[in-house]
Amino acid sequence: MTAIQVQAPPLALDPATRSTLLQTVIDTIPYIPNSSETEKAAERDSAFALVAALDPRDPVQAMLVAQLMAANHACIHAYRCAALPGVPPALHLRYQGRATAFARLVASRMRELRRLQDAALKAAARATAADPRAEAPATASGAQVRAAAPAARPWFAAAGQRRGSSAPAKAATGTEAVPSVEVREQLLEKITARLAAAGIAMAA
C-alpha cells in the first residue's frame, strides 16, 4: 500500500503546543465510513490548511483554534448526517439544530481568536513605537524610515488671538507663538470677572 504523506503546517508555537493542537485536529476529523486513505489524507490536509490560516501564536490562541476546529468538524458531520437518505424527519431536524449550534460556537471562537490576535498586534505596535531602537519599516526603495511624532502644541497658543481674527499667531520660525505674561494676566482677569458675574446672576 502506498504511504500517504501529510504536510503539517509550520506554526509559531512551541513544539509541545503545536503537536497537541495538530493531534487534536486529526482526532476530531469525522471521516466518512469506508473512505480511502487518499481521501482521509485530503481531509487532514484541508484541516491543516485551515489551522495555518487561523495562525495561532500562543497557547491560548492554540486552545481556541482546537475548540474551533473540533466544533467545525462536528458541525460538518451533523449537516452530513442530516443529508443522509432515509433519516426520520424528527432526527433530521435534530441534526440540523445541532449543526446550527456548532456553527454558532465556531463563530464565537473565531471572534474571540481575532480579538486576541488584534490585541497582540496592537501591543506589539505600541512596544515598537515606544522603543527607539526598534527597527523601522523599510520603504519600497529599501531605505528605512521612521514616522515623525506630532509636534506638541504650545501652551495656550491661541490665547492672544482675538475672536474672529483669521491671522494665526506665528513666530518667525513658523511655529505657534506663546502669549506674553501681560496677555495671560488679562485673559485670567476676564475669566475671573465672568465667573464672578455668573455667580451673582445665579444668586439673584
Residue 157 has pLDDT above 70, yes or no: no
C-alpha cell belonging to residue 76: 460538518
pLDDT digits (tens, 9 = 90+) for 161-174: 444 444 444 444 44
Whether 143 is covered by a domain: the verdict is no
pLDDT digits (tens, 9 = 90+) for 102-125: 999 999 999 999 999 999 999 888
Whether 6 is covered by a domain: the verdict is no
* Domain span at 58: 15-130
Residue in this structure with the C-alpha cell 506589539, named with its chain if needed: 124
Structural domain total, the chain: 1
- CA–CA gap between residue 63 and residue 68 (Å, rounded): 9
- CA–CA gap between residue 69 and residue 75 (Å, rounded): 10
Whether 30 is covered by a domain: the verdict is yes
Whether 181 is covered by a domain: the verdict is no
pLDDT digits (tens, 9 = 90+) for 28-40: 999 988 889 999 9
- CA–CA gap between residue 201 and residue 204 (Å, rounded): 5
Whether 40 is covered by a domain: the verdict is yes
- CA–CA gap between residue 79 and residue 93 (Å, rounded): 10
Mean pLDDT within 14-29: 93
| pLDDT band with cut points at 50, 70 and 90 for residue 196 | low
pTM greater than 0.85: no
Cα 157 to its chain centre, rounded Å, is 38
Under 8 Å between Cβ of 157 and 169: yes
More confident residue, 6 or 2: 6
Whether 42 is covered by a domain: the verdict is yes
Under 8 Å between Cβ of 87 and 81: yes
